[in-house]
Structure 1
């Protein structure tokens, strides 16, 4: 983040609670829901904008620091995915704190693994399984698939699409056997194109697109979650955070949780 943004962040966070809320009435659920998220770099969307969706959540890692999860829930956080592992030997130092905190606040939570192209998928799956508890009521695991351009040792390793998809299957099959849930695939527009992820059938997607809607960035691809911002401002979180929406209505969300929580 540019230095100026760091200096302005406390001011922006203070202002976020004063911003007009994303206010939606859950007509099909019969209860009102208010989401109060700010954004330090808002986008003028064309197409269906994030505030047209009713179920909002976040994803976090060590970069967000300590979180007041009850405040975050009151601000409208309906779900959270949190970084657990990376490669075959890295554990997010705040994963355990985030895992416990979200549970205490009653926020549905799931864990994600950042894939590393210089470590076999079997090793990475075992590392994830070693570090992520098999707790009742958790969301499906997530496999974060994007290139590693900032890695000190693996920045230029980019296997062809068929090999990427093979490795993904190995990882996902192992993790599914452990948790009883098929992992969700998180990805970016470039990786999606480069690795030919449109060839994957019957998989569930979480798509990143911070300037275009998923329909524009991933034509024809079905998705459950859309990460639309990396510069969110939420009460209870002292740093910028990724913002996400769920694709369906509150009734759809309830049905999805029933089917996908374990």
Structure 2
């Protein structure tokens, strides 16, 4: 059937309007009702965080356990530490292998920023529950730092730095729709104070790895000079997710998440874990990934024998001016010179 010129023009206008209406930007999904818990909770009010068009109300949970962070190993493409014989002091084996001064894989095009060597602040933290680590005391390590979340509230970053926080890892996300309400402010203020900072994600075993990686990428900026992203993997008895996956499934989900972050940020993610999760899933795995290890009662060489590590979380009960309440304390596995070299490699 032939159309008149007017009818044809009218029909074309309707088609064009429909195309424009269907090409709008994708709306943020509705937050799920999942609840997770990775950081000791406080009794203060629960803030909410706006993400895109969706406002995420982060549910306050009663966490009776101290849950701190701990990560490991050298950050480099299929490179690892060059092993040397293990030294012993008394009864405590102290790894003698060269600490971390290796490079990460090549990063994508991120604007490089000239880096001056930052001052190293000496450790002046106190501890509510001090542990005698003997000759393997973390006090002997040169560079210390902290990890924080919203449960630390408002932080005086300059004072915290002067107390010995040379770096900080900030809780960013967990699961596929939870954003720490203090992350954006902490991310900005830590940089303004001159701390080296990075972000971590608390992994939720009832959500797909791809969704969780996308959520982290959506909320954590890709910036030159930022520390590598961290995947925090633990068994969490207080989470709404009660699943305990097989070792093979755990490793598979972790690999999917880490591959996606490495492609986006250009740095190999750091794996933070705790002794029980490591025993069940990670012993002997991910040899080419840096680890951050939680070990609050003994040196990592005793709790994670044979595992090379990058960061050691040695206390979940630290006390510092600039922060109310307790804070997680961490140390870098290396000298000041190795720290400066490692930090410089993050900026290239």
TM range (shorter): 0.7 to 0.9
- In the TM superposition, what whole-angstrom CA distance separates every residue of 1:172-206 from its partner, at most 9, and x where no partner exists? 00011111111000000100011134222211000
* Alignment root-mean-square deviation, CA: 1.7
Distance 1:221 1:75, change over 3 A: same
Distance 1:47 1:192, change over 3 A: farther
Q: TM-score, normalised by structure 1?
A: 0.85
Distance 1:250 1:48, change over 3 A: same
Alignment correspondent of 1:17: none
SS in 2 for 1:35: coil
SS in 2 for 1:54: coil
Q: CA deviation at 1:46?
A: 3.6
Q: How does 1:29-44 map to 2 (within 5 A)?
A: 33-44=121-132
Long gaps (5+) in structure 1: 4-28
Alignment correspondent of 1:251: 337
Q: How does 1:51-70 map to 2 (within 5 A)?
A: 51-70=139-158
Q: 1:199, 1:35 → 2: CA distance?
A: 32
Q: Does 1:105 align with 2:105?
A: no
Q: 1:33, 1:139 → 2: CA distance?
A: 18
Q: 2:147, 2:333 → 1: CA distance?
A: 16
Q: TM-score, normalised by structure 2?
A: 0.65
Q: CA deviation at 1:32?
A: 8.0
Q: 1:40, 1:206 → 2: CA distance?
A: 22
Alignment correspondent of 1:177: 263
Q: 2:183, 2:272 → 1: CA distance?
A: 18
Greater alpha carbon shift after TM alignment, 157-166 vs 108-117: 157-166
Higher helix share: 1
Q: CA deviation at 1:261?
A: 4.0
Long gaps (5+) in structure 2: 1-39, 43-116
